[in-house]
Structure 1
Amino acid sequence: MSTRPELVRANAVFVTPRLLVGGDLDHDDETAEAQLAELVEAGLTHLVDARVEADDREFVAQRAPQVDYLWHGMDDAGQRVPASWFEAAVEWVLEALADPDAVVLTHCHMGINRGPSLGYAVLLAQGLDPVAAIAAIREVRPIAAVAYAEDALRWHHHRSATPAAERRHDRARLRAWRRDHPLDVVRIIARQRSLGY
């Protein structure tokens, strides 16, 4: 689905030519500056930070003031995510993408759950099929568990007044996809930590 080049420094991937998902900037300022510069060079104009535990607004404002930044943090504790969390961020992203030159990144800390789940919600809002959307994210970011996809799908169904039969069908298809594409999230998190994330 993506036609953009692969990023080398930044912990992010293009899911579509205008939507990236991924993890945060490095804790080392010099490395983080290089990552941010790479993202801007790749076209980044808007960034949604889904971490509740950190906030890079000041860092981004100082080094890339042309990038619009939304801090929209939430915890990553396996909780049920309220529809309002998706609604606020997705509306912001869709408004950004109304500009044909805009490129948006939705990210969290490691790029496993929160950032990819928000990216998933954006894809749903853009009309992508629920299974095609999660498959597109996993294809370009194999570590993405997209743990809150079910909550995003619930939000999307409510927002779009999806008929009950179609809701059940979509949920069953998403469950089947997860069953056929399992991830060992504990192992992935341990590996990411060993790499310094």
Structure 2
Amino acid sequence: MNKTEFIKELKIKLKNFPSEELNDALSYYNEYFEDAQIDDTVDVEKELGSPSMVASQILSDYAVKDIKIKDKPSKNRISSIWFIILAIFAAPIALPLSFAMVILVGTLVFTIGSIVFSFGLCSVSILFSGILVFGTGLLSIISNFSSALLFMGVGLLLSGIGLLAFAGTFKFGNVVLKSILNLSNNLLKKINKNKR
């Protein structure tokens, strides 16, 4: 496969990639061919691997890079999972193995997402319980001052625990999502290395 065919095939494999990133990747390989003085008579597939392997690596690297950027909305983090799935399907591995990898990644994301969602709901319920208990203490301050102080203190304690639990849940979700993406990326790299 010459360099023109390689670039054309790579462009097809990266059709769902953001256009700016696609242009950067294609420019990189065009510059690589120019710097290495590779013309259309050289078989570039022997040196670089198949366009499918290169596309798979580009997609998985992009997903991992995208997830490491701080202050990204969760919508963009979910798109990183999508790019990992695209990388799996772009990899030149057997179709059943691709489906197995997608199911594995999907199951991990769904399971961890369910756990994080459950902890988030528990955190919010503890927070609102604390607010209600504090409000009850405020309402009973005139009738029984010592009980009101107890209720207000317990309410503040519950609210604080709820806030800390919510922040911890959010942090845990981010760490686990990054770990899943890194695991998927490393798995793709090992498969692609074994294919060479």
TM-score (norm 2): 0.31
Larger Rg: 2
Q: Which has the higher helix share?
A: 2
Which has a greater percent of strand?
1
